[in-house]
Amino acid sequence: MADDRLLMRALRGETLQVPPVWMMRQAGRYLPEYRATRAQAGDFLSLCYTPELAAEVTLQPIRRYGFDASILFADILLVPQALGADLWFVTGEGPRLSTVTGAADFAALKPAEAIHETLSPIYETVRILRRELPAEVPLIGFAGAPWTVATYMIAGRGTPDQGPAHRLKDTDPETFGHLIDLLTEATTGYLLAQVAAGAEVVKLFDSWAGSLKGADFDRFALEPAKKIIAALKAAHPDLPVITFPREAGPRYDGFARATGADCVALDTAVDAAWAAEVLQPQSCVQGNLDPQLLVEGGQRLIDETRRIVGAFSGGPHVFNLGHGITPQADPANVDIMLEAIRG
């Protein structure tokens, strides 16, 4: 029997009267219950690697809002840590990693198949969630795409323009290519393990895809996604996959078809009318409310939410934000958004 949960129906290409809705980073610092659980964990990485607490923060927004999907609480940089990179978080500044800037640094990394010992707590979180989530709420697993993860591994932190990664790509293409290949293999294994543990949908986040241009976009954003999705589909033909080549602009056109994805998530800059005309005939689309509106609230939040729902009403659509909800968002504004979608 076909899965009749709203998210699964939309990802199969059905046009629904009311779209399913979830939010990127829906488990996060805007919620007081999340902040309390993170304080209990002591630090961010301890929260990620303590399955009971990671499951708890994943469940919190489901209890509060009744979203149509849940997404595993973890971090895209756990994969490089599992490959042997040092990873730590600086309060108020974000992640820091030991860097890969040449062949010697790459040679010190572990092989892709070695990641699972470090990441086994993540798989346990997935198993807990499958037991505890309401039956009507699918669980989304996820990973960072190879290019985006590589940008952090090369720079040792987030950067405005991903300059260090571009420099390594141009000056040492052999090392850079090896790193992308390793991340492609490790990401595939990580997602397959999440599915084996109980994830029902997976999403591939390529947050910095937009800084790749021309042939580089094809080689380092599109091709790795295609390889990962092909491997996932070979093992699980009916597994829905969402991709997010953020800020890809016109390169969104054809991305789902070229990679084999079932849905493409749209950033806030994508015009909904264009996406409805060009992208929706190719696949389900997801998005793309500006997260700032969940800080601002008011009538503009209601109007923009309704505009997006209306723009995508003629095809398969999963309502979401164009990027993750911010810590400054007002939890009450999420209720307003949901009422505008469902009311």
Task: Dump the DSSP string for 54-85.
Answer: HHHHHHHHHHHH--S-EE----TTHHHHHTT-
Structure tokens at 2: 């076909």
CA distance 230 to 65: 34
**Pairing relationship of beta strands 87-90 and 94-97 according to DSSP bridges:** antiparallel
What's the confidence (pLDDT) of residue 152?
Answer: 98
> Using CA of residue 102, residue 103, residue 105, residue 111, what is the dihedral sign?
positive
- Spatial contact of 62 and 98, defined as CB atoms under 8 Å apart: no
What's the confidence (pLDDT) of residue 271?
Answer: 98
Query: Would you say the pTM of this structure is higher than 0.75?
Result: yes
Q: What pairs with residue 87 in β-bridges?
A: 97
Helical spans, DSSP H, in 172-297:
173-197, 215-217, 223-235, 255-259, 272-278, 293-296
Digit-coded pLDDT (tens) for 50-84: 999 999 999 999 999 999 999 999 999 999 999 99
| Catalytic (active-site) positions | 25, 29, 38, 75, 152
State the pLDDT confidence band at 92, using cuts at 50, 70 and 90. confident
> Which domains occur in the chain, in start order?
6-342 (3.20.20.210)
Digit-coded pLDDT (tens) for 115-170: 999 999 999 999 999 999 999 999 999 999 999 999 999 999 999 999 999 999 99
Q: What is the mean pLDDT of residues 251-270?
A: 98
Q: What pairs with residue 285 in β-bridges?
A: 264, 317
Structure tokens at 73: 């609480």
Digit-coded pLDDT (tens) for 309-333: 999 999 999 999 999 999 999 999 9
